[in-house]
Amino acid sequence: MNNGVLDRYFHITERGSSVSTEVRAGAVSFLAMAYIVLLNPLIIGASADSAGNTLGIPQVAAATALVAGVMTILFGVIAKYPFALATGLGINSMVAVTLVGVEGLTWPEAMGLVVLDGIVIVLLAISGFRTAVFNAIPAHMKAALSVGIGMFIAMIGFVDAGFVRRLPDAAHTTVPVGLGINGSIASWPTFVFVLGLIICFFMVVRRVPGGLFIAIVANTVIAMAVEAITGSGSSADNPAGGWSLAVPQLPDSVGGMPDLSIVGDVDLFGAFTRVGVVTATLLVFTLVLANFFDAMGTMTALGKQGDLVDENGNLPGMKKALVVEGFGAVAGGLGSTSSNTVFADASAGVGDGARTGLANVVTGVLFLLAMFLTPLYEVVPIEAAAPVLVVVGVMMATQLASIDFTDMTVAIPAFLTIVVMPFTYSIANGVGVGFIAYALVNLFAGKAKKVHWIMWLISALFVVYFAAEPLRAIL
């Protein structure tokens, strides 16, 4: 495609962007998201299932990059929005801890439930129900979703960079987290994060074109210099002072064939035999609800951030986008990587100017290349990319201005939505608590008829979602 064809197909000029901006911003999304190729294998790659088998860290890394690349490109080409997909954080932990660790499923059985979860979500999208849910959410709750996700990804940036740390239980304190180490920026990687944050602040205040991309590259160079001087190493060897995931140093090699042996290793209905129909059905229901609202909240937030929504806060062509996103769960299960969904960290690319699906194509191609060039992109430590997440969190928090906090029927559910997301590290939890609160406060205010029936239904479903563990024990 030449630039004219690209422009017409992706509506680049219409959305106030350019090909060069989309390419650059697509690279920014990849750099902000690339850590999932390192992190996902640590969550699901090393743990043995009930049969004593592991998926394998190299295999999960390769499959994670493959599925993210394919689904991100498909979303960009079909939905034409700059919302990149990758393995959903939180959902992958649910698969590893609950399905495999607690329920005793094998990895193929657990991934089979993820595939079924995806099929349900696709059917809900095709039926129009997912679109109807988007349309039923009040404007102030959509704004709260955007702010909450902004807070959530900022928290991810702070935690991944070591700026915010969980205090050990042995400290015997009621304070669950603290700044750095004993209140100080006591590690070189966290210092690099703070320096990167300052660089990002300069870029956005001065409105430097491509500033976030420049900041990531500059911070990576700084990180490499710091590592060469200090030899901080990995946090695995140096828990207090090492780099969280990737150590910023030149790799010994830059290529290699990916191991995709786990792709397609799925047992679609084995879980129903192992744990019973009722338990397996509840597990699928839990996955569906988490997947459904993680994607809904993230797409709403990214759409508002990029000024891509209409006057009601809805994305044009939403149904098509939701169908493609639903197939991310199917693809993630088939790839043995866990469900793929719209990734909140893609907000880095949107913040750098991405407005069309062309940015997604760039991000997806880089993910596919990552299968072969893992050592090369591992040069970028999360501490170099995390400052961008914090700055994007600031951008998304501007939606606070549209929420009327003088009205308690608005303030209570909006506030709970915003704070529960970062505090529980879950978008779905924030959505659930906020929706339940919205229904209750309007009931108490005598405005029950104002609440759309879909909001009542979703609130009831979230009550079941939050009670899933005791329900499984009873049934």
Please give the pLDDT value at position 10.
93
**How many residues does the structure list for the chain?**
475
For residue 357, pLDDT beyond 60? yes
3-class secondary structure per residue, the chain: CCHHHHHHHHCCCCCCCCHHHHHHHHHHHHHHHCHHHHHHHHHHHCCCCCCCCCCCHHHHHHHHHHHHHHHHHHHHHHCCCCCCEEECCCHHHHHHHHHHHHCCCCHHHHHHHHHHHHHHHHHHHHHCHHHHHHHHCCHHHHHHHHHHHHHHHHHHHHHHCCCEEECCHHHCCCCCEEECECCECCCHHHHHHHHHHHHHHHHHHCCCCCHHHHHHHHHHHHHHHHHHHHCCCECCCCCCCCECCCCCCCCCCCCCCCCCCCCCCCCCCHHHHHHCHHHHHHHHHHHHHHHHHHHHHHHHHHHHHCCCCCCCCCCCCHHHHHHHHHHHHHHHHHCCCCCEEECHHHHHHHHCCCCCHHHHHHHHHHHHHHCCCHHHHCCCCHHHHHHHHHHHHHHHHHHHHHCCCCCHHHHHHHHHHHHHHHHHCCHHHHHHHHHHHHHHHHHHCCCHHHCCHHHHHHHHHHHHHHCHHHHHHHC
Pull the structure tokens for residue 440.
């209750």
Query: Which residues, 6 or more positions from 253, have their beta carbon under 8 angstroms from its beta carbon?
Result: 375
Q: CA 144, CA 402: separation in Å to the nearest integer?
A: 9
Domain membership of residue 335 (yes or no) is yes
What's the domain range around 103?
5-168+176-403
Please give the pLDDT value at position 428.
76
Q: How confident is the model at residue 202 (pLDDT cuts 50, 70, 90)?
A: very high
Domain membership of residue 213 (yes or no) is yes
Q: CA 356, CA 81: separation in Å to the nearest integer?
A: 5
For residue 123, pLDDT beyond 90? yes
**240 or 10, greater pLDDT:** 10
Please give the pLDDT value at position 339.
93
Q: How many domains does the chain have?
A: 1
Q: How confident is the model at residue 193 (pLDDT cuts 50, 70, 90)?
A: very high
For residue 21, pLDDT beyond 80? yes
The mean per-residue pLDDT over the stretch 182-189 comes to 86
Pull the structure tokens for residue 287.
């996955």
For residues 430 and 148, is the Cβ–Cβ distance under 8 A?
Answer: yes
Q: How confident is the model at residue 222 (pLDDT cuts 50, 70, 90)?
A: very high
Q: CA 92, CA 82: separation in Å to the nearest integer?
A: 23
pLDDT digits (tens, 9 = 90+) for 253-275: 767 788 899 999 999 999 999 98
Q: CA 337, CA 265: separation in Å to the nearest integer?
A: 11
For residues 85 and 75, is the Cβ–Cβ distance under 8 A?
Answer: yes
For residues 14 and 1, is the Cβ–Cβ distance under 8 A?
Answer: no
Among the listed residues 190, 183, 194, 165, the one whose alpha carbon sits nearest the alpha carbon of residue 241: 190
Q: Is the pTM of this model over 0.85?
A: no
Domain membership of residue 453 (yes or no) is no
The mean per-residue pLDDT over the stretch 207-217 comes to 78
For residue 1, pLDDT beyond 60? no
3-class secondary structure per residue, 37-72: HHHHHHHHHCCCCCCCCCCCHHHHHHHHHHHHHHHH
For residue 2, pLDDT beyond 80? no
Kindly tell me the burial class for residue 144, based on how many C-beta atoms sit within 10 Å of its own C-beta (0-12, 13-18, 19 or more): buried
Domain membership of residue 456 (yes or no) is no
Q: How confident is the model at residue 374 (pLDDT cuts 50, 70, 90)?
A: low
Domain membership of residue 23 (yes or no) is yes
Domain membership of residue 310 (yes or no) is yes
Domain membership of residue 331 (yes or no) is yes
Which residue in the block uniquely carries the two structure tokens 């338990």?
A: 279
Please give the pLDDT value at position 172.
67
Q: Which of 179-188, 371-380, 455-464 has the lowest mean pLDDT?
A: 371-380
Please give the pLDDT value at position 367.
95
Question: Which residue type does 54 have?
Answer: T
For residue 66, pLDDT beyond 90? yes
Pull the structure tokens for residue 166.
């969980």
Query: What is the bridge-based pairing of β-strands 177-179 and 164-166?
Result: antiparallel
For residue 83, pLDDT beyond 90? yes
Q: How confident is the model at residue 209 (pLDDT cuts 50, 70, 90)?
A: low
Please give the pLDDT value at position 238.
84
Q: CA 314, CA 463: separation in Å to the nearest integer?
A: 26
Please give the pLDDT value at position 176.
80
Domain membership of residue 470 (yes or no) is no
The mean per-residue pLDDT over the stretch 62-81 comes to 96
222 C-beta neighbours (distance < 10 Å), count: 18
Please give the pLDDT value at position 416.
96
List C-alpha distances in Å: 242 to 134, 272, 292. Answer: 43, 43, 36
Give the phi and the psi of residue 85 in degrees, each rounded to 5.
-110, 150
pLDDT digits (tens, 9 = 90+) for 380-397: 788 887 888 888 788 778
- Per the prediction, the chain carries an average pLDDT of 87
**441 or 213, greater pLDDT:** 441
For residues 245 and 39, is the Cβ–Cβ distance under 8 A?
Answer: yes
The mean per-residue pLDDT over the stretch 312-324 comes to 84
Q: How confident is the model at residue 376 (pLDDT cuts 50, 70, 90)?
A: low
Q: How confident is the model at residue 237 (pLDDT cuts 50, 70, 90)?
A: confident
